[in-house]
Amino acid sequence: MPYAANELFDLSGKVALVTGGSRGLGLEMVRAFARAGADVVITSRKTDACEAAASEVRAMGRKALSFSAHVGQWDALPGLVDAAYDAFGRVDILVNNAGMSPLAPSAVETGEELFDKVIDVNFKGPFRLTALVGARMFEGDGGAILNISSTGAIRPQPRFIPYAGAKAALNALTIGFALEYKPKVRVNAIMAGPFLTDIAKAWPAEARERAHNILGRPGQPNEIVTAALYLVSPHASFTTGSVIEVSGGTL
């Protein structure tokens, strides 16, 4: 049956948990989910930033919980999940968005501490959180999980090989959990290209204006919103185990 466009992205009555939700792509998705009718759990390492994002959501007339947590710390994540369920009684949407992509001078100069941090935040945390939330979703009414990956997973470059490897693992995690929690929980990923988020302030001026992709430019943060809304919407009911590029066209 046909649907109006606003019905396709309607998230009324849904609860979304977004990691790294206080800035960048995470904040754009938080705003979009709230505008679509969802209540939101916002987590990042910075308490003040989480609360500022939560205040913005409340000003839209939606409920919001801010919770400071380091997603790379295995034992911190059960407390986050418990807080979300205590506050709202459910989580319908999980977005594993938090990430870090520090550059190293070279592979041989990459220290174990840096390597572990990159893997912890970009892969270990999403694995643990998907397991915790996905299991509850499966036992309940189901849900949608969205992982924010990177084109680095398929176009790795020197100086960020651990990051590229972690994002490739995140792509594999997407398919694995889609199989584990089928058919009640859909798990998908967005493989993001260069976006003009906060980290872009450290880029050279040329990189902020041009990019090595088909469109020849980096993306604006709000350009991830439509793909995210589609993948978490109940109307994407036949899409799972998918990794979708939002990259300006990988070359």
Please list the active-site residues: 163
HEC string of 165-222? HHHHHHHHHHHHHHHHCCCCEEEEEEEECCECCHHHHHCCHHHHHCCCECCCCCECHH
To which residue do tokens 């990051």 refer?
Answer: 163
Q: Which amino acid is at 85?
A: Y
Q: Is the dihedral of CA 201, 163, 230, 79 positive or negative?
A: negative
CB atoms within 10 A of CB 163: 26
Cβ contact 25:224 at 8 Å: yes
Q: Can you tell me the distance from the alpha carbon of 31 to that of 33, in angstroms, rounded to the nearest whole number? A: 6
DSSP structure class, residue 250:
B
